[in-house]
Amino acid sequence: MRRVLAAVSDFVAVLVFVGIGRSAHGHVVDPGGMISTAWPFLVGGAIGWLAARAWRSPVARQTGIIIWLCCVAFGMALRVVSGQGTAVAFIAVALGFLGLELLGWRVAAAFVARHGGRPLTSPS
């Protein structure tokens, strides 16, 4: 179940990135446009899952780092091959936003696993 939830979380993270980006640039957020923009990053993320063997430890921070970097690197390469743009600013934004998303949910999950329902500080 953790593997499926982790994969879905990564998938949703890419779609959120794409949806916000398309909206911010005045593009229609429709299924065709979303697929056109998202597929390179989804393929890059899938390559990251394979490279990290993410099914073994899907929530580990190291797993997230590999998925994040593959998602951006292969995503950008596939955008170039498919005739889509890759401005330096876009690469920087993708690195930052996808890093926050793909690593952020893993950090949050580790925090919850570590602290569960316990208070963060001891009562005085």
Contact 18, 90 (CB under 8 A): no
Enter the pTM of the model: 0.87
pLDDT classification of 27: cutoffs 50, 70, 90: confident
**Residues contacting 70, CB < 8 A, separation 6+:** 44, 45, 47, 48, 51, 52
Is 40's pLDDT higher than 90? yes
DSSP 93-105: HHHHHHHHHHHHH
Query: What average pLDDT does this structure show over 66-76?
Result: 98
Q: Is 25 exposed, middle or buried (0-12, 13-18, 19+ CB in 10 A)?
A: exposed
- % of the chain with per-residue pLDDT over 70: 94
User: Phi/psi class of residue 83: alpha, beta or left (left: φ > 0; alpha: ψ in -120 to 50)?
Assistant: left
Query: What average pLDDT does this structure show over 99-115?
Result: 92
